[in-house]
Copies of this chain bind each other. A is one copy, B any other.
Amino acid sequence: MSATMADVAKLAGVSVKTVSNVVNEYPYVRQTTRDRVLAAVAELGYEVNLSARSLRSGRTGMIGLAVPELRLAYFGELADDVLRVAREHGVTVLIESTGYSRAEELEVLRGFRRRMTDGLLFSPVVLDAEDLAAAAPTYPLVLLGEQIFSPAYDHVTMRNEEAVRAAVRFLVERGRRRVAVIGARRDVAVGVGTAGLRYAGYLQALAEHGIAFDAARVGWTTASWHAADGAAAMAAVLDSGAQVDAVVALNDSLAIGAMAELRVRGLAVPGDVAVIGFDDTDEAQFTDPPLTSVDAGRREIARVAFELLHARVRAPQDDRAPTLHLAGLSVVERGSTPRL
Contact = CB atoms under 8 A, between A and B. Distances in A.
Given A80-B97, A97-B80, A227 B286 contact: yes
Q: How large is the interface on A (under 10, 10 to 19, 20 to 34, 35 or more residues)?
A: 35 or more
A80 B73 contact: no
Contact of A257 (B52, B94, B226, B286): B286
Interface string A74-116: 0111011001000000001111110000000000000011011
Contacts of A55: 49, 51-52, 55
Interface string A111-130: 01101100000000000000
Contacts of A73: 71, 73, 76
Interface in A253-289: 256-257, 259-260, 263, 282-283, 285-288
A135 interface: no
A150 interface: no
Contact of A260 (B75, B83, B263, B286): B286
A23 to B, nearest CB: 11
Contact of A227 (B52, B282, B288): B282
Contacts of A93: 95
Contacts of A113: 92
Q: Copy number in this complex?
A: 2
B76 A71 contact: yes
A38 to B, nearest CB: 16
A228 interface: yes
Interface string A23-52: 000000000000000000000000111111
A92 B285 CA distance: 35
A112 B48 contact: yes
Nearest to A289: B263
A73 B79 CA distance: 13
B76 A286 contact: no
A49 to B, nearest CB: 7
A162 interface: no
Given A71-B80, A80-B97, A226-B282, 18 more contacts: A49-B115, A50-B112, A50-B115, A55-B55, A62-B116, A76-B76, A92-B116, A227-B282, A228-B285, A228-B286, A256-B283, A256-B286, A257-B286, A260-B288, A260-B290, A263-B288, A287-B288, A288-B288
